[in-house]
Amino acid sequence: MIDLKQLREDPQPARDSQIARGADPNLVDQILQVDEARRAALRDFETKRAEQKAVSKSIGKTPKEERAGVLEKAKALAEEVKTLEAKANTAAEELEKLARSLDNIVLPQVPSGGEDKFEVLRHEGGAPRDFTKEGFTPKDHLELAEGLDAIDMKRGAKVSGSRFYYLKGVGARLELALLTMAMDQAVDAGFTPMMTPTLVTPQIMGGTGFLGEHSDEIYYLPADDLYLTGTSEVALAGYHKDEILDLDEGPRRYMGWSTCYRREAGAAGKDTRGIIRVHQFNKAEMFSYCPPEQAEKEHARLLAWEEQMLAKVELPYRVIDTAAGDLGSSAARKFDCEAWLPTQERWMEVTSTSNCTTFQARRLNIRQRKTDGNVIAATLNGTLATTRWIVAILENHQNADGSINVPQALQPYMGGVSVLEPIQ
């Protein structure tokens, strides 16, 4: 949620942010109008309540012959106070609802526009392989995985429906190897490893900003009033709800390892083959609480850790600065790393890292202890490894016979195996 005090003092950045996102800038002025109405209603309530208290206090000192009139006045004032209090509460509820509909204010460096208006910051990991020069046509990840007996989509669909799957054999080992390597790297960097809940309350899901425009992407269990998380970011953000953190020694960092669930309601017909876009997957997610003034530097660190992992699995990738219109509601800026997908000749997102500034922490009442008064903390998140990486690893490291070269850094996590051989 945005800072109302800051919005009152300077609403233009919020208007500009809405325009950059392709959203309605008039929402900002609506919020300010409702805020003014709320404050006016609160003033009226407090003024009348003070008058009521003064009259009630005077009853005992009032002569007997005048007391009935004073009592009547006190009774009338009590009714007025009750009405004005209800009006102030209604205005506060309306303001809360409206303010929560305003997305985080994007940072000035963020490209304006929709999904295709991102800015490519750089290419890393070398040039993509030219399979034509190597004399063979690359197979897609599913064909390769089926040759390795590593993924079973048919039985996944039989048991759970479309976009579910089994990872088996070397496929299961490959996912576990990736996530374990991510955990080791995170621990070395000072992160606390966490196995997080995958069911959360509406207060936590809403507090992280996931119950807005794309809430239809989330699985909901009405009988329990709980949501299945699409990322451990949600559980990690809620971990310190209503707490005051001491961040004098630097950011507080966690790495969450969890299964993630997404309905993919808006992705019909897109990447339906294989495991690029599925309903269930595993992910290692970095999460950081830090002082607001350090958030941009912390964001750069999270990106660097993501790139460190991508270098370990030897993938060609590019880094993009995501356009404002493609940001989630809680993100003020987001960098994506996209690996090359040879069979589709396109870049595929494998990591993202978002600076959520104080947006989530304000909703969740997470503050930083300061000697001159506590302040709202900043939160950031970033992917360190996920099931989707298997797609890029298989396609980029394949050989003509369908075997897969295991990246050197990953080999110790695969029991020393250097090549995954097709099942004969």
Per-state percent for the chain, helix, strand, coil, to nearest 5: 45, 20, 35
Q: Kindly give the confidence (pLDDT) of every residue in the chain, 424 residues in length, as a single tens digit, with 9 standing for 90 and above.
A: 678 889 999 999 999 999 999 999 999 999 999 999 999 999 998 998 888 888 777 776 777 767 777 777 878 888 888 989 899 999 999 998 899 899 999 999 999 999 999 999 999 999 999 999 999 999 999 999 999 999 999 999 999 999 999 999 999 999 999 999 999 999 999 999 999 999 999 999 999 998 876 788 899 999 999 999 999 999 999 999 999 999 998 999 999 999 999 998 656 666 778 999 999 999 999 999 999 999 999 999 999 999 999 999 999 999 999 999 999 999 999 999 999 999 999 999 999 999 999 999 999 999 999 888 899 999 999 999 999 999 999 999 999 999 999 999 999 999 999 999 999 6
**Residue 270 has what pLDDT?**
65
Enumerate residues 6+ apart whose C-beta is below 8 A from 37. 91
Using the 8-state DSSP alphabet, how is residue 106 labeled? P
Measured distance CA(323)–CA(224) in Å, rounded: 37
**Residue 268 has what pLDDT?**
61
Measured distance CA(423)–CA(122) in Å, rounded: 38
Q: Residue with structure tokens 């079973």?
A: 152
Measured distance CA(191)–CA(177) in Å, rounded: 19
Measured distance CA(128)–CA(214) in Å, rounded: 34
- H helices of 22-108, where? 26-58, 64-100
Q: Which residues of 72-99 are buried (b: 16+ CB within 10 A; e: fewer)?
A: ebbeebeebbeebbebbeebbeebeebb
Distance of CA 45 to the CA centre of its chain: 39
**Residue 193 has what pLDDT?**
98
- 70: burial class by Cβ within 10 Å (0-12, 13-18, 19+)? middle
**Residue 181 has what pLDDT?**
98
**Residue 296 has what pLDDT?**
97
Answer yes or no: is 293 a known binding residue: no
**Residue 79 has what pLDDT?**
86
Answer yes or no: is 56 a known binding residue: no
**Residue 264 has what pLDDT?**
83
Catalytically active residues, by annotation: 262, 277, 349, 352, 388
Beta strand segments in 137-237, E: 151-152, 166-167, 192-195, 199-200, 220-221, 226-228
Q: Looking at the whole model, is its pTM more than 0.85?
A: yes
**Token representation of residue 130:** 């030219």
Angle between helices 170-188 and 389-396 (to 10 degrees): 110
Answer yes or no: is 233 a known binding residue: yes
Answer yes or no: is 258 a known binding residue: no
